[in-house]
Structure 1
Amino acid sequence: MEPALWAKIDEIRVFARMTPQGKAKIIEELQKQSRHVLMCGDGGNDVGALKQADAGLALLAGYGNVNTADTNDIDSLSDANAVVCDKKAEEALNKQDAEIAKRNRRAAKDRQAFLWEKQKELSNHQKEWLEEEMQARAKNGDTGVLAQMGAMKSSMGRYTEELKKVMKEYDKSHGNVYDPTEKEKQKQSPTAALEEASGGLPMVRPGDASIAAPFTSKAPSVKNCVDLIRQGRCTLLSALQQQQIMMLNCIINAYVLSALSLEGSRTSERQLMASSWLLTTASLAFTYASPCDRMHPVRPLRSLFHPAVFFSMLGQAAIHLFCMVAAVKMARAAMEEDSPERQAGWSGPSLKDVSEFWKRERARRRGLIEQEEEEDWTTYALNMWQQPFLPNLMNTVVFLVETAQTVAILFVNYKGQPWMKGVMENRALFLSVVVVAGSVAAAAWEFQPQLNALIHLSPFPNDQFRWQVMGLVGMTLAGTFIWDRFCVYLFASEIFKAMVDSAKKTTFRADIVPIFFTILKVMACFLVLGTGNLLMAGLAFWMYRRHSQEADE
Structure 2
Amino acid sequence: MMPFINEHEFCITGQAFMYLLNKHIQFLRYIIPHIKIFARMAPKQKERVINELKGLGYITLMCGDGTNDVGALKHADVGVALLSHPYDASKAGEKRRKKEGNKANSSSEHSCQSISNSHTNSGSSLSNIKKPLVQHSARRTDAPAGARQIRHNPVSSATAKRLEQMMKDLKDEEKIQVVRLGDASIAAPFTSKYTSIQSICHVIKQGRCTLVTTLQMFKILALNALVLAYSQSVLYLDGIKFSDTQATVQGLLLAACFLFISRSKPLKTLARQRPTPNIFNAYTLLTVSLQFAIHFGCLIYVVREAQATVSREKVDLEAEFKPNLLNSAVYLMALALQVATFAVNYRGHPFMESLLENKPMLYSLLFSGSAVFTLASGMSPELAEKFELVELPAGYRKALLSCIATDLLACFVIDRILCFLLGDMRSV
- What is the TM-score when the length of structure 1 is the normalising length? 0.56
Q: Which amino acid aligns with 1:390?
A: K
CA distance in 2, matches of 1:438, 1:447: 11
Gaps of 5+ in 2: 1-15, 101-166
Report sequence identity in percent. 34
- The answer on 1:285 being equivalent to 2:248 is no
CA distance in 2, matches of 1:293, 1:351: 59
2:377 touches 2:401 (CA, 8 Å); kept in 1? no
Gaps of 5+ in 1: 67-73, 76-99, 111-164, 177-202, 337-349, 362-388, 499-553
Partner of 2:172: 170
CA distance in 2, matches of 1:443, 1:52: 57
RMSD: 2.9
* 3-state secondary structure, aligned to 1:56: strand
CA distance in 1, matches of 2:274, 2:340: 25
CA distance in 1, matches of 2:228, 2:214: 21
Distance apart, 1:233 and its partner CA: 1.0
Q: Which amino acid aligns with 1:311?
A: L
Distance apart, 1:175 and its partner CA: 8.9
* 3-state secondary structure, aligned to 1:411: helix
- The answer on 1:351 being equivalent to 2:281 is no
Distance apart, 1:166 and its partner CA: 7.0
Partner of 1:410: 342
**CA shift digits 1:2-34 (9 cap, x unpaired):** 425734233232233433233223323333433
Which of 26, 48, 51 is residue 28 of structure 1 equivalent to? 51
Partner of 1:495: 425
Which of 179, 186, 208 is residue 183 of structure 2 equivalent to? 208
CA distance in 2, matches of 1:167, 1:456: 67
CA distance in 1, matches of 2:277, 2:58: 18
CA distance in 1, matches of 2:184, 2:255: 41
Structure 1 residue ranges, 4+ long, deviating more than 6 angstroms after superposition: 165-168
CA distance in 1, matches of 2:241, 2:93: 59
Q: Which amino acid aligns with 2:336?
A: A
Which of 310, 319, 339 is residue 360 of structure 1 equivalent to? 319
Partner of 1:295: 270
- The answer on 1:475 being equivalent to 2:369 is no
Matches within 5 A, 1:144-183: 169-171=171-173
Aligned residue-pair number: 336
1:39 touches 1:53 (CA, 8 Å); kept in 2? yes
Partner of 2:301: 326
Distance apart, 1:53 and its partner CA: 1.6
Which of 351, 358, 362 is residue 419 of structure 1 equivalent to? 351
Greater C-alpha Rg: 2
**Structure 1 pair 219/269, CA: closer, same or farther in 2 (3 Å)?**
farther
**Structure 1 pair 398/482, CA: closer, same or farther in 2 (3 Å)?**
same
**CA shift digits 1:225-258 (9 cap, x unpaired):** 1111111111111111111111111111111111
2:209 touches 2:265 (CA, 8 Å); kept in 1? yes
**CA shift digits 1:89-115 (9 cap, x unpaired):** xxxxxxxxxxx9x969x99xx9xxxxx
**Structure 1 pair 14/241, CA: closer, same or farther in 2 (3 Å)?**
same
**Structure 1 pair 410/496, CA: closer, same or farther in 2 (3 Å)?**
farther
- What is the TM-score when the length of structure 2 is the normalising length? 0.72
- The answer on 1:391 being equivalent to 2:323 is yes
CA distance in 2, matches of 1:428, 1:312: 26
Matches within 5 A, 1:201-350: 203-336=178-311
**Structure 1 pair 34/449, CA: closer, same or farther in 2 (3 Å)?**
same
* 3-state secondary structure, aligned to 1:57: strand
**Structure 1 pair 453/103, CA: closer, same or farther in 2 (3 Å)?**
farther
CA distance in 1, matches of 2:285, 2:176: 54
- The answer on 1:43 being equivalent to 2:66 is yes
Partner of 2:145: none
CA distance in 1, matches of 2:199, 2:176: 22
Which of 328, 333, 351 is residue 401 of structure 1 equivalent to? 333
Partner of 1:118: none
Partner of 2:387: 455
* 3-state secondary structure, aligned to 2:63: strand
